[in-house]
Amino acid sequence: MLIDDFKIKLNIGAGRTNIEGFTNIDISDQADISLNLSEEPLPFEDNSVDLIFSHHTLEHIPNYLFALSEIYRVLKHNGVFLLGVPYVTLTEYNLVNPYHLHHFNEHSFSFFDPSKLKGSAMEKNQIIFEKVFHRFHYMGWFKHCPSFFRNWCRRHLFNVVKKIDFGLIAIKNHEEKNPPDSSDMKAWFDICLKSRKRNKAKTNR
């Protein structure tokens, strides 16, 4: 399946960029749709969106759970949510950044997957995502280290991983799960990221 096969696609946190073929959404009035996702609902019907891309946005949203609930609401069953965020142990640009209100690691979205939370109160969470992949972006010479050493360093040291990408699907019918292949989702993520263009027309207003 190609990314162009998805009919309704959103780019959340577009800033001064846009992705052609997507509805670009941001708090800035330079976006196609300007709204504050910390408190304003997405102007889309329930179960109407095929794919959502968001790059370095969720960490800035004060009411993160409201934003995530809106993303979940508008996505179709098996709808794709691709996002990239700073990694929790990045100190210089993440932990000390006063505008980064939330922190993420590879386990962050396990709290929205009932299969990972059996026996806990969160098992009945109404926001349900299944993680298909996560991908680390290692810093400096860690990129070239053996995987076992990188894994140890990531768990015990700061400033090993710069950012992390996720591929999630919205689950609304537990009997009919059909997640895409992780390699396809990684390719879609990379296409979205590379397709972002600075919106010159709106920037020059």
Residue 122 has a pLDDT of 60
Q: Parallel, antiparallel, or unpaired for β 75-86 and 161-170? A: antiparallel
Q: Residue 205 — pLDDT band, cuts 50, 70, 90? A: very low
CATH of the domain at 124: 3.40.50.150
CB 10 within 8 A of CB 25: yes
Total tally of structural domains belonging to the chain: 1
Residue 20 maps to a domain: yes
C-alpha–C-alpha distance, residues 19 and 87, integer Å: 24
Tokens 């196609």 correspond to what residue?
32
Q: Is residue 55 part of a domain?
A: yes
DSSP-based three-state secondary structure for 5: helix
Residues spanned by the domain of 54 = 3-199
Indicate the pTM of the whole model: 0.93
- Is 204 a member of any domain? no
Q: Is residue 98 a part of any domain in this protein?
A: yes
DSSP-assigned states of every residue in 6-72? -SSEEEET-TTEE-TTSEEEESSTTSSEE--TTTS--SS-TT-EEEEEEES-GGG-SSHHHHHHHHH
Q: Is the pLDDT of residue 34 over 90?
A: yes
Q: What confidence tier does 62 reach under pLDDT thresholds 50, 70, 90? A: very high
Q: Is position 205 within any domain?
A: no
